[in-house]
Chains A and B, each alone.
Chain A
Amino acid sequence: MKKLMLAAAVLALSAGIGAAQTVRMATEGAYPPYNFVNDQGKIDGFEIELGNELCKRASLECTWVKNDWDSIIPNLVSSNYDTIMAGMNISDERKKAIDFTDPYTPPPPSAYMALTPDADIEGGIVAAQTNTIQASHVAETGATLLEFATGEETIAAVRNGEADAVFADKDFLAPALAESNGELVWVEGHDTVELGEGIGMGVRKSDGELKEKFNTAIQSMKDDGTLNALLKKWFGEGAVQF
């Protein structure tokens, strides 16, 4: 017992003093093509490439951290990492807890996807990922909301009939739809729903300095067109641009 306490104390107090600041960036790693774990087991995706470029422009040293979507905001607030880049839409509800940088994507369209184009999205069961603006939107319609921890599970729920439709970012659903050989289709008239103010990087409210650094970097990428090029690379020719 004594040894254990001692080990804990040593671990708690040793780790050195006065090291340079490293920015730890959290992502979910389960939302392709925004962020995902590739087959080498490394984090990959639009936000990873963008985040690395932003850090370079802001001359910051950055590392990536994977964190569950569910606890991604609480862990930012308790300083386990310093930013969130996880396809997180800027919304008023989230702004109560954390701050956002300027959006680094235009408001991304959301869409309903189902097995039939006439799926009942007003009175049926609609799947969405927990704590997303899409989940809040479904809750406001007459439909029954079925929540899942990851985006992938929401699509699986439609495939196995658990839900009538899934509501998520269109860019996330599009690859699944394209590769389903016609099994999955957009719900008629609901294939482009405008929601939110765009995706931004989440930072702590007390971290205004870091937010400004990233805002400057995002602006410079918007100005020289590299952000648009990146959007095109990851979301295809039809991607909405700045």
Chain B
Amino acid sequence: MLSTCADPKTLEGLAWLMCYLTSGKHLLFYLSFGTVILLLAVTAPVALLFGFGGALASRSRITPLRWIGRIYTSMVRGVPDIIFFLFVPIALDQGFEYLRAKVYCDPGAPIRQGNDFVVCAAAKLPLSTADQWVHQAYGLFLAVIAFAIVFGAFASNVLYGAMNAVPKAQLETAEAYGMSPRQVSRRILIPQMWTYALPGLANLWMILIKATPLLFVLGVEDIVYWARELGGAKTAAYAFPHPDWRIYYFLGILVFYLLMTWGSERIFDRIRFRLSAGQATMAGEAMRKTAI
């Protein structure tokens, strides 16, 4: 906070705007951009991991494992995202607290009391005494899990398709050279599938970026929450009264999302170029021809 901003009611024009844009509330707004980027940075690898697990399970020779992989991909993809986003965090939270209650609480006390879900103080997660940031981090953690489960299912389908797209002849040749199935996967299948998986994964990344406003549904204070909160008309109860400015805030968010997707598009183009080199795909063939 700037010292000149002590009494905003006396300020005008640019000075007022400067003070307005550096108010504590706006700093929280700016920080929430970090929350969104953090969520993306954590969710993408976790979702990819889920997807990888799902794809490998779907291809597994062990029947029950194959069923699990198939059920996971088809079930999660078939249910509206928002239902998962509402269900997973609540279910996880109550599940954790239920388990903790079994360990820490008096076993005689009922957990379900009519409508209420009550565990003893020691089993609360996070504890009631924990700092607010712990509660927020925990909320974000649940959000990451929910996102990863949903996007993992889509990624799993993309990777499954990509693995099937790798020419069978190559895998059989590797086998003929005496590689074990695990070696075939690690040395031939996985390095080659990326070029087929990339378009699908790039698509998913774009959708993931666009899905981050769902954080707001999960109670995490993201940029959409703050834009709505800051943009709404403010009466003199606030230090900086102003009319309805939501349109400007939402415009700012729009620019942010466009920049994010535009930037990712460029990065994906470079990765695509590198992955296509030397591949027997159309893109790889085109590169070979221009190189001659």
Contacts and interface: CB of A to CB of B under 8 A. Distances in A.
A40 B24 contact: yes
Interface in B112-158: 113-119, 121-122, 124-130, 132, 135, 138, 141, 145
B94 interface: yes
Nearest to A78: B117
A236 to B, nearest CB: 11
Interface in B243-259: 244, 246
Contact of B116 (A36, A152, A155, A205): A205
A2 B27 CA distance: 37
A19 B115 contact: no
B114 A38 contact: no
Contacts of B235: 32, 175-176, 178-179
A12 B141 contact: no
Interface stretch (B76-84, B99-107, B198-206, B265-273): B99-107
Contacts of A15: 125-127, 130
Contacts of B114: 205-206
A97 interface: yes
B23 A39 contact: yes
A37 interface: yes
A150 B238 CA distance: 17
A204 B116 contact: yes
Contact of A37 (B49, B93, B104, B229): B229
Interface residues of B, number: 55
Contacts of B97: 79
A67 interface: yes
A36 B237 contact: yes
B115 A97 contact: yes
A55 interface: no
Interface string A10-33: 011101111111111000011011
A182 B79 CA distance: 50
B142 to A, nearest CB: 10
Contacts, number: 126
B117 A79 contact: yes
B214 to A, nearest CB: 13
A30 B246 CA distance: 15
Nearest to A177: B235
B138 to A, nearest CB: 8
Nearest to A4: B46
Interface string B19-49: 0000111011000000000000000001001
B244 A156 contact: yes
A213 interface: no
Given A12-B125, A159-B244, A153 B117 contact: no
B219 A71 contact: yes
Interface string A45-74: 000000000000000010101111001000
Nearest to B92: A8
A195 interface: no
B3 to A, nearest CB: 15
Interface string B62-104: 0000000000000000000000000000100110110110011
A67 B216 CA distance: 11
Contact of A38 (B1, B27, B122, B238): B238
Given A21-B121, A63-B132, A152 B232 contact: yes
A14 to B, nearest CB: 10
B240 A204 contact: no
Nearest to B114: A205
Contacts of A11: 138, 141
A17 B90 CA distance: 23
Contact of A77 (B27, B117, B129): B117
Contacts of B28: 41
B228 interface: yes
Contact of B219 (A20, A37, A68): A68
Contacts of B127: 15-16, 19
Interface in A58-114: 61, 63, 65-68, 71, 75, 77-80, 82, 97-98
Interface of B: 1, 8, 23-25, 27-28, 46, 49, 53, 90, 93-94, 96-97, 99-100, 103-104, 113-119, 121-122, 124-130, 132, 135, 138, 141, 145, 219, 221, 228-229, 232-233, 235-241, 244, 246
22 contacts: A13-B100, A15-B125, A19-B128, A21-B121, A21-B128, A23-B128, A33-B237, A36-B238, A39-B238, A40-B25, A63-B132, A79-B116, A82-B128, A98-B115, A152-B232, A152-B233, A159-B233, A175-B235, A179-B241, A204-B118, A206-B114, A206-B116
